[in-house]
Structure 1
């Protein structure tokens, strides 16, 4: 059963130096036409498979930058979502946002149309590092935007932070954490920089012009992050996510629980009725498909039972709760040890996994090498 909906807004007023998501500069783009195409895609998908959309619980607007849209464009987009997506069971309606684009007018539109969670791309409170990242906001704008969001009535607010940045010191990271905690928010996400192909950072790295902290420094930053979050009662429920009880991201938990979700928009991915798919990325190709009355799917793959089981471990071990053994048995009709006994025993002996009666999960040490642990569960 599909329980989540992801909607991709590919427009940005500024392209960040580290971003590899499907995005285009806002200027001179068919933004209004794209919004109408999104509405048509949602209508077409729901009409083709209405049973899959009966119990949608979360909706997430991502990008790109959803708040690159004007207040009027946001209102049109949200109207189309409410028209075509069954909203009866939705408990979390989130949007990503940039601090320097989220005006009081836009905040009021978001609130009026039922959005109840904001995820702000802050990344750092260090002006020098923000410039290196290609971010256009100032630290003061983060504080003011959050003040306005609370004034409008938002209580579920999260910010994204990044560490392992070019030239970043432990002192800069500690200062960013201190300023983030001063905002007294119920949720924080923090990610180490991954230099992806086709980004400005990737080109700089290949030229030897990207002075990244070493592995030891990055590990020290992650250790500090976990320590500071725990000290403030922010529960680490996933490798990179921390929140107070009941403020965990319900939409992202759909991914980590290996549940199904729909993806709408150019370049969006989805997982519906045991099929993973990706939409066409180029705007014209995406919109032409929809105008022809076709779903804009570029690639789809029917997920095999073996792949589902691999993904269950690969994704589920990201959560600090790990893999619930009874849930695994109920979903796949076999014990997790029947499939992965060798890997579980080896990783437990190495101190990277912990197993108790109910679950299997990463140890503290395992969190530092999560990707290496996950790869052990690729069956072939």
Structure 2
């Protein structure tokens, strides 16, 4: 449903941060981090980042978890999409949903037979809004039987404009869905056609209004930057129409063109013009300026929200919190490891039938890997990494351990420190992947 990949573009920083230059970070760690306690040999292990399995089990039981459920079905294939999603016959859909319920039911707590506390559930795809309400009800009932789902849990479903009816929206609300993510992508009819999208510009507004009528106020709109032929005029039009709708949340993604897609073939034949990178950055800067002026908070590289409406589920990914993924291609993280399922719906159904699980691979989470991933993902948030809190949670003084790697980034103007937070600069947000490469 979404564009592949997440853009890391420029943002205007508010003045008055009082940032400390990191030009000589490695040699100035003591000065910059004067308020930070240092890590000394022989210090006891910090429970926040336990290396031993038993300690990580305790940590997992104390946490609030997120659940992601992947629904790979779509009414059509977008020209830019390289996901294993599309139109499947009804028997395959039924078999896939049965396999999902089997996987959810077989999920076990990390250490004991006790229900994990869940405070976010996210149905992604694909186009989950294609599901009949009774199928969604069946999945949610299975989740609630197996897990302790909080009364105030954030429950999100992704949807395409044009696939939502009043009856379906009311059913979602009754089932507890309180957040909907709409794949608007653009408010230009020409650009929608180029992307192979089959909804109209008008259907975006109609879907938002319909959701509000039934009581779903928390609505995200996805936008895509870097569409061939996109220009400042069409982007201005998209911003005008988007902010007129006042969604509570907006995600802005960079279009990535993958081999084998119709869009890639059109570009290769010269039928479309590659998007201009400088122009795309300028459009993103315009969006940032407009979003701030409209009262939105920029809280992550590609995400903006009205105050109090940040995506609680996605924050788990950037905050080293655990989550379980069900369905093909779904990923899970439980402090011990990252694991992922087989990629295709057919392989998923077959795996669940033959071996009762669909895991395709695992990466053990060593202490070092967990710390470095926490740094990398934490830097995605615009507030950055709280250095004191990081030290308390992981037992690591970031400036002491990683000063040598961070110093060149400071000299290049990609990172800065202000108010005890390590964060990306405006330039760093443009070149975020260069910063993240230090921890990969």
* TM-score, reference length from structure 2: 0.81
Q: Cα distance, 1:110 vs. partner? A: 1.1
Q: Are residues 1:115 and 2:177 paired? A: yes
Q: Give the equivalent residue in structure 2 for 1:237.
A: 299
Give, in whole Å, the separation in 1 of the partners of 2:261 and 2:226: 16
Q: Give the equivalent residue in structure 2 for 1:223.
A: 285
Q: Are residues 1:101 and 2:157 paired? A: no
Q: Give the equivalent residue in structure 2 for 1:301.
A: 363
Give, in whole Å, the separation in 2 of the partners of 1:85 and 1:105: 28
Q: Are residues 1:38 and 2:106 paired? A: no
Q: Give the equivalent residue in structure 2 for 1:9.
A: 71
Q: Give the equivalent residue in structure 2 for 1:87.
A: 149
Q: Give the equivalent residue in structure 2 for 1:312.
A: 374
- Larger displacement relative to structure 2 (28-37 or 173-182): 28-37
Within-5 A mapping of 1:137-216: 137-216=199-278
Give, in whole Å, the separation in 2 of the partners of 1:168 and 1:359: 36
Q: Are residues 1:282 and 2:344 paired? A: yes
When Rg is computed on C-alpha atoms for both structures, the one with the higher figure is: 2
Q: Give the equivalent residue in structure 1 for 2:434.
A: 372
Give, in whole Å, the separation in 2 of the partners of 1:51 and 1:174: 54
SS in 2 for 1:154: coil
Give, in whole Å, the separation in 1 of the partners of 2:355 and 2:112: 17
Q: Cα distance, 1:85 vs. partner? A: 3.1
Q: Cα distance, 1:48 vs. partner? A: 7.2
Task: Describe the superposition over 1:162-217 as per-residue Cα deviations: whole angstroms up to 9, x where unpaired.
Answer: 11111111110110011000001211111121223443323334444441222111
Residue 53 to residue 311, structure 1, CA distance change in 2 (3 Å): farther
Within-5 A mapping of 1:17-96: 17-28=79-90, 30-46=92-108, 54-88=116-150, 91-96=153-158
Residue of 247, 261, 266 corresponding to 2:323: 261
Task: Describe the superposition over 1:23-53 as per-residue Cα deviations: whole angstroms up to 9, x where unpaired.
Answer: 1313455112211211110110136765685
- Larger displacement relative to structure 2 (192-201 or 148-157): 192-201
Give 5+ residue unaligned stretches, structure 1: none
- Matched pairs, number: 378
Give, in whole Å, the separation in 2 of the partners of 1:260 and 1:313: 16
Residue 228 to residue 183, structure 1, CA distance change in 2 (3 Å): same
SS in 2 for 1:56: strand
Q: Cα distance, 1:356 vs. partner? A: 2.2
Task: Describe the superposition over 1:248-280 as per-residue Cα deviations: whole angstroms up to 9, x where unpaired.
Answer: 001101111122211000121111242111111
Q: Cα distance, 1:240 vs. partner? A: 0.6
SS in 2 for 1:276: strand
Q: Cα distance, 1:293 vs. partner? A: 5.4
Residue of 348, 361, 368 corresponding to 2:410: 348
Which structure 1 residue ranges, 4+ long, deviate > 4 Å from structure 2?
47-53
- Larger displacement relative to structure 2 (291-300 or 120-129): 291-300
Give, in whole Å, the separation in 2 of the partners of 1:282 and 1:162: 25
Give, in whole Å, the separation in 2 of the partners of 1:26 and 1:103: 22
Give, in whole Å, the separation in 1 of the partners of 2:223 and 2:303: 10
- Larger displacement relative to structure 2 (222-231 or 200-209): 200-209
Give, in whole Å, the separation in 1 of the partners of 2:363 and 2:115: 20
Residue 273 to residue 341, structure 1, CA distance change in 2 (3 Å): closer
Give, in whole Å, the separation in 1 of the partners of 2:146 and 2:259: 36
Task: Describe the superposition over 1:78-122 as per-residue Cα deviations: whole angstroms up to 9, x where unpaired.
Answer: 333333332136521111101111111111121111111111000
Q: Give the equivalent residue in structure 1 for 2:314.
A: 252
Residue 52 to residue 190, structure 1, CA distance change in 2 (3 Å): farther
On the 8 A contact 1:366/1:373 being kept in 2, the answer is yes
On the 8 A contact 2:109/2:116 being kept in 1, the answer is no
Give, in whole Å, the separation in 2 of the partners of 1:277 and 1:90: 28
Q: Give the equivalent residue in structure 1 for 2:46.
A: none
On the 8 A contact 1:267/1:278 being kept in 2, the answer is yes
Give, in whole Å, the separation in 2 of the partners of 1:366 and 1:183: 31
Task: Describe the superposition over 1:37-78 as per-residue Cα deviations: whole angstroms up to 9, x where unpaired.
Answer: 111101101367656852211111000110122233333333
On the 8 A contact 2:409/2:435 being kept in 1, the answer is yes
Q: Cα distance, 1:140 vs. partner? A: 0.8
Give, in whole Å, the separation in 2 of the partners of 1:365 and 1:24: 38
